[in-house]
């Protein structure tokens, strides 16, 4: 990923992250498929991610 794209992605993630510490983490794993992705989303939900 180029520096420009990475910086833009980071900026957008910060705007979308909300107030929770784990909010940005949900964006990172939302596309994960299968049992591993589901398990990751469940762990984040239990931790209070929105």
Q: What was the pLDDT predicted at 36?
A: 77
Residue 23 Cα distances to 20, 32, 38, 45, 48, angstroms: 5, 16, 16, 10, 9
**pLDDT at residue 1 is higher than 70:** no
For 6-50, how does the pLDDT look when each residue is reduced to its tens digit (9 = 90+)? 556 666 656 655 555 555 555 555 556 778 777 877 887 888 765
Residues 6+ apart with CB under 8 A from 15: none
Q: Cα(50)–Cα(38) distance, rounded to whole angstroms? A: 15
* pTM > 0.75: yes or no: no
């Amino acid at each position: 990923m180029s520096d420009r794209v990475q910086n833009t992605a980071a900026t957008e993630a910060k705007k979308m992250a909300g107030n929770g510490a784990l909010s940005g983490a949900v964006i990172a794993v939302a596309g994960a498929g299968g049992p591993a992705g589901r398990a990751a989303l469940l762990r984040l939900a239990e931790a209070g991610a929105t």
